[in-house]
Amino acid sequence: MTVNREIHLASRPQGWPTADNFRLVETEVPTPGPGQLVVRNQLMSVDPYMRGRMDDVKSYVPPFALDAPLDGGALGEVVAGEADGIAPGDTVLHGLGWREYALVDARGARRVDPDLAPVSAYLGVLGMTGLTAYAGLLDVAAMKPGETVFVSGAAGAVGSMVGQIAKLKGAGRVVGSAGSAAKVERLRVLGFDAAFDYHDGPVRDSLRAAAPDGIDVYFDNVGGEHLEAAIGAMRLHGRAAICGMIAQYNETEPPAAPRNLALVIGKRLTLRGFLVGDHGHLRDRFVQEVAGWLREGKLSYDETVVDGIARAPEAFLGLLRGENLGKMLVRL
C-alpha cells in the first residue's frame, strides 16, 4: 500500500509563521466513494491569502483547522474513481493541495488539457492568478487606454500579469515595485516603463520619480506604505483595486498607514477590495484573450518551483518573504 504524505497545521502562527507551525503527516492513500476521484497531485500552489486562513478569525473562507491538512489550488492525475465524465488518466485542477494524494469530489474538479499549455499555467497565468490580475485591472479598477498604472508586488505571479496586461490593453505608462534589483531588472524585460526596489527609499519618493505626473490606477498587493504612496500620487478620479496587503499579514499591530486617506475626498478616489471569485463572468473572455497573448508570445510568466511535499512549508514561507519570481509552485 502506498503512503500518502500531507502537511497539517500544527499551530497557529503569531506574527511571522515558522516551520514549527507545520507538520508532515503520513496517512493512507484514500479509496474513492461514489462521485469521488483520487488524484495524485503533481503541482500545488502556495498563495499569500493562505496566511489569513492560518488565523482563527472569521473571513470570506473558514480558517484552516488545527491538526488537519491545509488546502489550496492543486493539479494532478486521476488514479482512481470515475465520475462526471472524468476518468483515471485525466489531469484535473482542484482545491485540495498540500497532500500527495487527494480525495476529490468530482464536481469540484475541472479537467485541463495538458497538450494546450504546460499544466502549471492552469495554476498561474491561465488560472485564478491570471484571472485575478485581469479582473482587478480591467473590471475593478476599470483601466482605460492611456492611463498610468502602478502595481506593487509586481514581480509576483499576479503583479507581473497586471503590468503586462496593462501594456497590452493600452496603458500609457506602467510602473511596478518589487523587492530586489533582480526583480526590478526582470520587470524592465517584461515591458514595464519604470520599476523600483521599494528598499531603495520611501515608496512615495520612488513612485514620484517613476510617475512624475501621477497615477490613475493602483493595483495593490502590498498595502501599508505602498497604499499610502499610491493615494498620494493619485490623480483626480483615480481607482485602486485592492487585491492583497501582504506587508501586513504577519504584523501583530495594525498598520499606521495609509495616513492620508482623507485625500480620497478631494481627489474623488475609489478604493475597492475584491476577490476573484466575484468575477467568474469574465472567465471565458479572459481565457480567450490570455491564451491568445501566450500563443503570440506577447505575455511571459515566471515560475519558482520547489520540489517535494516536505518542502511545501518552506515554499510558503519563501513566498511571504518575497523569494519567488512569478508564481510559487511545489512539484510533488
**Among the listed residues 274, 293, 322, 331, the single contact to a second copy using CB under 8 A:** 274
Is 227 a binding residue for a second copy by CB under 8 A? The answer is yes
Concatenated DSSP letters for 63-76? PPPTTSB--B-EEE
Q: Of the two residues 51 and 99, which places its CB atom closer to a second copy in the complex? A: 51
Distances (CA, A) of 245 to 179, 219, 254: 15, 11, 12
Q: Which residues pair with 211 in a beta bridge?
A: none
Single residue of 32, 73, 81, 223 touching a second copy by CB under 8 A: 223
Among the listed residues 68, 181, 275, 310, the single contact to a second copy using CB under 8 A: 275
Residue 261 interacts with a second copy (CB under 8 A)? yes
Q: What does the alpha-carbon distance between residue 158 and residue 302 come to, in Å, rounded to a whole number? A: 11
Q: Which of 243, 325, 329, 330 binds a second copy (CB under 8 A)?
A: 243
Residue 233 lies near a second copy (rule: CB under 8 A): no
Please name which of 95, 161, 87, 152 lies closest in space to residue 126, comparing C-alpha atoms. Answer: 161
What single-letter amino acid sits at 90? D
Which one of residues 65, 262, 305, 310 is an interface residue with a second copy (CB under 8 A)?
262
Q: Does 258 sit behind a cis peptide bond, omega within 30 degrees of 0 on the bond before it?
A: yes
- How many Å apart are CA 237 and CA 266, to the nearest integer? 9
Query: x/- string (CB under 8 A) for a second copy, residues 46-75?
Result: ------x------xx---------------
Is 245 an interacting residue with respect to a second copy (CB under 8 A)?
yes
Give the contacts of 247 (CB within 8 A, at least 6 positions apart).
Answer: 222, 223, 224, 225, 226, 255
* 266: contact with a second copy by CB under 8 A: yes
Per CB under 8 A, 242 contacts a second copy: yes
**Residues at the contact surface with a second copy, assessed by CB under 8 A:** 52, 59-60, 223, 227, 236, 242-245, 248, 254-256, 258-275, 278
